[in-house]
């Protein structure tokens, strides 16, 4: 039995022991899990859920054989979403993202990280982060804001990427910090995006302004992102599809969390997944996320990410569950507040129909209810 007051867990233990520990208030709401399994609310540590427009035609093209690089060369990809997002108002961004957060909640997510990165000008990045702040205040889910001004090099800086890096470090980061709009600074370290040296400079500039580092690393190739993560003291290195044994040892030694996003591998048809077993067996803490985004993150579902973790990355159900809850909370520096059902933490939980293994029956109605801060938000 789990008991909570004002959204905070005050008791976890056998029902028979409850009366010895506390008095149940007369107006208390009782929820009977009726043979189901109660697990912590899912924490999604990597999303790009605030954006305008969609790229559904690109998905069709990808299914017909086009590669990520071909789509980008034809004006698609991130820059297409950047163009749509620059035209969108803050109100529009809040409205469209709120509906996406509802979908995530229906899949059991109760806390999520959200990145900027579809503005790529100071004004547009600030607009995205203000939208994230409004969503955090107005939506039942708790949002953790990340500044990702270095998501892609915008068209107007293609001939001079260093000038864009200077804009990110010299203007965007100070402006974001001045309004306290982000907790984390992220960078897309990849061939064609930001080099390891540029990535490190951006994360260090963020750190100087109080933004903690995390990084997109080694997703489409061996970008050297894991080295930057280690050097910058990043809390997490995300994707890691191309990390090797040397990288795994370095990440373990530096205490960097690997945030794995198997749905991105699937929807991008990369033909491979991050080496989860190597990472776990080397001692790297592994978390799971959805990577919701308009280009390749088509599933809002943490249970679907868990399914891929189990059946494409050889993780056990228990490893996947911990990766989707406590480790994901730690990846966001929220392990003191969410990620497990413990006294003092938020009353965030998912009631699963029957055994927890039902979570990996993709498409089945495995979730009976979702509870956030002690309130039933999905039933
Ligand atoms: Zn991402």
- Write out pLDDT tens, residues 234-268: 999 999 999 999 999 999 999 999 999 999 999 98
Q: Mean pLDDT throughout 352-363?
A: 96
Closest CA to 308 of 284, 295, 289, 326: 289
**Residue 217: strand, helix, or coil:** strand
**Residue 4: strand, helix, or coil:** strand
d(CA 3, CA 29): 10
In the prediction, which pLDDT does 93 show? 98
Does this model's pTM top 0.85? yes
In the prediction, which pLDDT does 75 show? 80
Question: Which of the pair, 74 or 352, is modelled with greater confidence?
Answer: 352
CA–centroid distance, residue 212 to ligand 1 (Å): 16
CA–centroid distance, residue 271 to ligand 1 (Å): 18
Beta strand 286-288 with 236-239: parallel, antiparallel or unpaired? Answer: unpaired
265-314 pLDDT per residue, tens: 999 889 999 999 999 999 999 999 999 999 889 999 999 999 999 999 99
15-41 pLDDT per residue, tens: 888 888 888 888 899 999 999 999 999
Mean pLDDT of the chain, nearest integer: 96
CA–centroid distance, residue 179 to ligand 1 (Å): 23
Please determine, for residue 59, whether its predicted confidence score (pLDDT) is greater than 90: no
d(CA 201, CA 197): 6
In the prediction, which pLDDT does 22 show? 87
Q: Do residues 204 and 151 make contact, with C-beta atoms less than 8 angstroms apart?
A: no
Strands (E), the chain: 2-5, 8-12, 37-40, 42-44, 109-115, 142-150, 184-189, 212-217, 236-239, 257-260, 286-288, 349-352, 367-372, 375-378
CATH architecture of 38-331: Alpha-Beta Barrel (3.20)
Mean pLDDT check: name the lowest of 53-67, 157-171, 343-357: 53-67
Contact residues for 64 (Cβ-Cβ < 8 A; gap 6+): none
CA–centroid distance, residue 153 to ligand 1 (Å): 15
105-132 pLDDT per residue, tens: 999 999 999 999 999 999 999 999 999 9
CA–centroid distance, residue 152 to ligand 1 (Å): 11
**Residue 333: strand, helix, or coil:** coil
In the prediction, which pLDDT does 115 show? 98
Beta strand 349-352 with 375-378: parallel, antiparallel or unpaired? Answer: unpaired
In the prediction, which pLDDT does 69 show? 79
CA–centroid distance, residue 2 to ligand 1 (Å): 35
Q: Mean pLDDT throughout 86-92?
A: 97
Helical packing angle, 317-324 and 302-312, nearest 10°: 140
Task: For 194, list phi and psi in degrees, rounded to 5.
Answer: -115, 135
CA–centroid distance, residue 142 to ligand 1 (Å): 19
**Residue 1: strand, helix, or coil:** coil
CA–centroid distance, residue 6 to ligand 1 (Å): 34
Closest CA to 239 of 250, 229, 254, 253: 229
In the prediction, which pLDDT does 295 show? 86
Task: For 182, list phi and psi in degrees, rounded to 5.
Answer: -140, 150
CA–centroid distance, residue 379 to ligand 1 (Å): 30
CA–centroid distance, residue 4 to ligand 1 (Å): 34
Q: Classify 346 in phi/psi space as left (phi over 0), alpha (psi -120 to 50) or beta.
A: beta
The stretches of 53-160 forming alpha helices (DSSP H) are 56-63, 68-73, 78-87, 90-106, 122-138
In the prediction, which pLDDT does 309 show? 98
CA–centroid distance, residue 138 to ligand 1 (Å): 24
CA–centroid distance, residue 216 to ligand 1 (Å): 6
In the prediction, which pLDDT does 72 show? 79
Contact residues for 287 (Cβ-Cβ < 8 A; gap 6+): 43, 45, 236, 257, 258, 259, 260, 323, 324, 327, 328, 330, 331
Q: Do residues 346 and 373 make contact, with C-beta atoms less than 8 angstroms apart?
A: yes
């Amino acid at each position: 039995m789990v008991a909570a007051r004002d959204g905070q867990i005050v008791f976890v233990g056998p029902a028979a022991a409850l009366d010895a520990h506390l008095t149940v208030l007369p107006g208390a709401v009782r929820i009977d899990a009726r043979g189901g399994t109660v697990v912590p609310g899912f924490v999604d540590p990597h999303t790009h859920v605030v954006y305008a427009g969609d790229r559904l035609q690109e998905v069709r093209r990808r299914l017909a054989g086009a590669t990520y690089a071909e789509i980008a060369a034809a004006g698609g990809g991130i820059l297409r979403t950047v163009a749509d997002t620059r035209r969108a108002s803050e109100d529009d961004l809040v409205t469209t993202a709120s509906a996406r957060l509802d979908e995530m909640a229906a899949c059991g997510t109760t806390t999520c990280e959200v990145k900027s990165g579809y503005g790529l000008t100071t004004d547009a990045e600030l607009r995205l982060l203000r939208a994230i702040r409004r969503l955090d205040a107005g939506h039942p889910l708790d949002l953790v804001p990340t500044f990702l001004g270095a998501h892609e090099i915008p068209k107007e800086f293609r001939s001079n990427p260093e000038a864009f890096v200077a804009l990110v470090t010299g203007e965007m980061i100070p402006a974001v910090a001045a309004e306290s709009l982000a907790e984390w600074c992220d960078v897309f370290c990849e061939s064609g995006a930001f080099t390891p040296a540029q990535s490190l400079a951006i994360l260090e500039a963020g750190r100087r302004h109080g933004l903690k580092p995390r990084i997109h690393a080694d997703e489409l190739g061996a970008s050297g992102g894991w080295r930057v993560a280690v050097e910058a003291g990043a809390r997490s290195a995300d994707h890691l599809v191309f990390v090797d044994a040397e990288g795994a040892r370095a990440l373990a030694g530096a205490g960097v969390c690997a945030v794995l996003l198997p749905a991105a591998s699937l929807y991008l048809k990369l033909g491979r997944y991050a080496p989860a077993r190597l990472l776990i067996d080397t001692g790297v803490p592994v978390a799971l996320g959805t990577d919701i985004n308009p280009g390749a993150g088509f599933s809002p579902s943490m249970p679907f990410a868990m399914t891929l973790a189990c059946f494409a990355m050889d993780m056990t159900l228990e490893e996947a569950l911990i990766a989707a809850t406590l480790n994901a909370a730690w990846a966001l520096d929220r392990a003191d507040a969410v990620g497990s059902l413990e006294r003092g933490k938020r009353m965030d939980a998912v009631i699963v129909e029957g055994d927890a293994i039902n979570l990996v029956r993709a498409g089945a109605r495995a979730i009976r209810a979702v509870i956030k801060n002690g309130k039933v938000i999905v039933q």
